[in-house]
Amino acid sequence: MKIMIIGQSGAGKSTLARSLQTTSGSPLLALDRLWLATDYGKAAKQWLLKEQEKFMAENKDWIIEGNYLSIAKDRIEQADLILLLRLSRHIAMYRVVKRSIKRKLDKSTRPDVPEEFIEKFDKEYLDFLLFVWRFKKEREPLAIKKIYEQGAEGKLVILNGSRQQKKFLEQWRSKSS
């Protein structure tokens, strides 16, 4: 099965992806791990797209975690299941700040982030927090629109909060055993 996981930062995409990988044995591509190791330029975006294409071509089943809507077309098209994770923005902000502080103190706390990535609490970080705060109003509708434009709405499952994620994972595990 090919699974695409998108959603708000702090919603649990990486955690859910790792749990699904453990259960299914499918290879996992965490797009943040690749992107955060780049300079964020145009060449980096092309490189990320090529890495994603290569990963999808090399694996019969896969899990790809991360938004990156500008390179999502093929992911949406090929995915058998698209999981959109939602969380209240207050909880998302809390989780994002908490994980940033934890990672600043101990790099091993986020295996989905490249070792060389340095957490900085600067203007760029504040812009990122603003992105997190506005995600549900600004970015999520764009993601859903893109999914519908590609006729993939039948593949979309929206999980609202941690309880629904846990319930989904329990059902997934019971189907897999």
Block mean pLDDT (10 aa), the chain, length 177 = 97 96 96 88 93 98 96 97 97 95 86 80 93 95 97 97 95 85
Number of domains in the chain: 1
- pLDDT of amino acid 111: 79
What 151-157 contacts at long range (C-beta under 8 Å, 24+ apart), as own/partner pairs, is 152/76, 152/77, 152/79, 152/82, 155/76, 155/79, 155/80, 155/81, 155/82, 156/82, 156/84, 157/81, 157/82, 157/83, 157/84
Parent domain of 111 = 2-176
- pLDDT of amino acid 77: 97
Could you read off the pLDDT of 116-162 as tens digits, one per residue? 888 889 999 999 999 999 999 999 999 999 999 999 999 999 999 99
CATH of residue 29's domain is 3.40.50.300
- pLDDT of amino acid 177: 66
| CA torsion through residues 118, 19, 165, 144, sign | positive
